[in-house]
Amino acid sequence: MDLFNDLIDSTENLLSYDGTVNYYGQIFSDEEAFGVFDSLLKEIQWKNDKAVVFGKVIETKRKVAWYGDIPFKYTYSNITKEALPWTDLLLKLKELVELKTNEKYNSCLLNLYHDGSEGMAWHSDGEKQLKPNGAIASLSFGAERKFAFKHKQTKEVIALQLASGSLLVMKDETQINWLHRLPPTTKVKLPRINLTFRTILV
């Protein structure tokens, strides 16, 4: 599998102000994207995600996994996870993303959405363990899904469709000024895997 296609990169900022989001489009062919999706589905140690809501631990249908250079501890939604060691495939994907974005990452949070009924509410990735204003690179495989940003003050909304095998990067002050979400939809019946490469402060 050739993970290093020389495809055109996009440097256009999708946000009007107060942050930077670059959408590179598909950096994998359809065949490559399907192969990566299938491998991730089989190889990753998926677990149902958990969150603390009104003092109770809620288990989601969505499944997650957390990998990194060392056993980083990462806390969100009041639940702490410990990073697993990289798989060979994840290291190849990380190398590709670093090459494309000219950034370095030391961890990756993966999400498995079984169909369009599973999504993410408005939020920012502002956890204290993350590098301030650091780049977060998002790879998508499987079903094409809508992804949206909303400015915290002006409430302006910007949305796009994330294709299978595509790369999106959020950086600079995006997490400070913008929320983002993966809205649920009844139209999507197929699963999607999303990888977000991040930099955890050591």
Q: How confident is residue 57, by pLDDT bands cut at 50, 70 and 90?
A: confident
pLDDT band at 5 (very low <50, low <70, confident <90, very high): very low
Question: pTM for the full model?
Answer: 0.90
Fold of 20-198: Jelly Rolls (2.60.120)
Exposed e or buried b per residue across 90-107, where buried means at least 16 C-beta atoms within 10 angstroms of its C-beta: beebbebbeebbebebbb
If you average pLDDT over every residue of the chain, what do you get?
92
Say whether pLDDT at 113 is over 90: yes
In tens, the pLDDT along 160-171 reads 999 999 999 999
pLDDT band at 2 (very low <50, low <70, confident <90, very high): very low
Other beta carbons within 10 angstroms of residue 87's beta carbon come to 16
